[in-house]
């Protein structure tokens, strides 16, 4: 059984999550950003979620499959949490990524 969220207010669309401290975004805003057609917008907000939120709150908004799918774009937004998420999901956390033909 998964752990409950750190606060039940994270189920409320109008609540301003603690992990979006630098913006006025609400839970509904975050969900909209994470569902955006623009992959760069999704990556920024998914990276913010992974970087700033308690890991038990992350799963209210995304899945392992979604993180894996967006990983190449999300990677640059993770900061010091990059190694943890790479290890947890068995993904390449190397930053900056190596380009073909560059040693």
Confidence at residue 102, expressed as pLDDT on a 0 to 100 scale: 47
Q: Is the pLDDT of residue 93 over 90?
A: no
Q: SS3 helix, strand, coil % of the chain, rounded to 5? A: 55, 0, 45
Range of the domain at 80: 8-89
pTM of the model: 0.89
Q: Is the pLDDT of residue 100 over 60?
A: no
**Residue 39 domain flag:** yes
Average pLDDT rounded to a whole number, residues 16-38: 97
Q: How many domains does the chain have?
A: 1
**Residue 47 domain flag:** yes
**Residue 13 domain flag:** yes
**Residue 24 domain flag:** yes
Q: Is the pLDDT of residue 30 over 80?
A: yes
**Residue 100 domain flag:** no
**Residue 96 domain flag:** no
**Residue 1 domain flag:** no
Residues 35-87: tens digit of each pLDDT: 999 999 999 999 999 999 999 999 999 999 999 999 999 999 999 999 999 99
**Cα–Cα distance for residue pair 102/34, rounded to 1 Å:** 33
**Residue 62 domain flag:** yes
């Amino acid at each position: 059984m998964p752990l409950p969220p750190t606060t039940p207010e994270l189920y409320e669309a109008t609540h301003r999550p603690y992990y979006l401290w630098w913006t006025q975004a609400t839970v509904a805003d975050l969900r909209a950003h994470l569902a955006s057609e623009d992959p760069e917008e999704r990556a920024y907000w998914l990276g913010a979620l992974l970087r700033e939120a308690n890991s038990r709150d992350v799963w209210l908004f995304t899945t392992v499959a979604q993180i894996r799918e967006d990983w190449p774009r999300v990677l640059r937004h993770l900061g010091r949490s990059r190694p943890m998420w790479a290890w947890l999901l068995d993904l390449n956390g190397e930053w900056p990524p190596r380009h073909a033909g560059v040693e």
